[in-house]
Chain A
Amino acid sequence: MDSSVKIINEWDIVAARQLGRNVAKELGFGTVDQARITTAISELARNIYLYAGQGEITIEKVENGAKRGMTIISRDEGPGIPDLRKVMEDGFSTSGGLGAGLPGVKRLMDEFSIESTPGEGTLIQSVKWLR
């Protein structure tokens, strides 16, 4: 199964969340977690589309001991984020209210990490564990 979606246009946002939803279903996530995962992917893919122009969403199944779950990786080679602390504040947006932003994604997922280098791009990894 294809586990990566290139994000170039708005339709790719739909494709990325459909992929995520299918994997989440397959892994046995309940409807609430499926909605959390689908929404998180939609926000991350839209961030790529709006800020970086293009990038990629990758979905991976993960295991850690007895725990199983899925990772969402969002990767772009866009302008990067100069002030990470600021984008992790609720209500901060540079696109006029579009996108609830990364704090929302962090709340929807169980683990969240972000690396960004101005001029090079941004890498966001987030994990949802099966309960």
Chain B
Amino acid sequence: MNMRIPILKLHDTLLISIQWELDDQTALQFQEDLLHKIHETSARGVVIDFTSIDFIDSFIAKVLGDVISMSKLMGAKVVITGIQPAVAITLIELGIRLEEVMTALDLEKGLEKLQRELGD
């Protein structure tokens, strides 16, 4: 059941599209894999797309918030894209705020935002 989330490299950016419901182990494995990949590739930016995800609970939100802070420590900026309306509503009602996090409506806008942030 434990599947790894693929991390793609595009120039100095890493691209991740979460395609299925995350269980705890997959989320934690992803956290580790992403940090290793940043280290390996010297990536400066990361886009994580959630278009296919229909809910995020407090555990996934915590793992996500942590991996964004960890990536920042390693010099990489992270943009979250594709959060569905139902997911945004549920997260705020649950009491979770990812306030320091860069977001964009979709992958395309996320990549544009990242390019501006990275200054090229």
Q: Which residues of A contact B (CB under 8 A)?
A: 10-11, 13-14, 17-18, 31-32, 34-36, 38-39, 42-43, 46, 90-91, 97-101, 103-105, 107-108
Range of interface residues on chain B? 20 to 34
B28 to chain A, nearest CB (A): 10
Contact yes or no, B62 A107, CB < 8 A: no
Beyond A32-B86, A36-B93, 10 extra complex contacts between A and B, CB < 8 Å: A31-B84, A32-B85, A32-B90, A35-B84, A35-B86, A98-B62, A100-B61, A104-B58, A104-B96, A108-B93
Cβ 8 A contact of B86, one of A34, A90, A97: A34
B87 CB within 8 Å of chain A: yes
Name the CB-closest residue of A to B23.
Answer: A14
6 nearest A-B pairs in the assembled complex, by CB-CB distance = A35-B86, A100-B58, A104-B94, A42-B57, A32-B86, A35-B55
A76 to chain B, nearest CB (A): 18
Contact yes or no, B94 A31, CB < 8 A: no
Main SS of the interface on chain B?
helix
A89 to chain B, nearest CB (A): 11
Bound together, the chains give a CA A4 to CA B62 distance in angstroms of: 27
Chain B window 39-78, contacts with chain A (Cβ cutoff 8 Å), 1 for yes, 0 for no: 0000000000000001111110110000000000000000
Q: Which B residues touch A103, using CB under 8 A? A: 95
Q: Which B residues touch A107, using CB under 8 A? A: 93-95
Contact yes or no, B59 A39, CB < 8 A: no
A27 to chain B, nearest CB (A): 16
Name the CB-closest residue of B to A45.
Answer: B57
Contact yes or no, B59 A36, CB < 8 A: no
Name the CB-closest residue of A to B65.
Answer: A97
Cβ 8 A contact of A46, one of B55, B59, B61: B59
B71 to chain A, nearest CB (A): 19
Tell whether A42 pairs with B55 under 8 Å between CB atoms, given A36-B93, A104-B95: yes
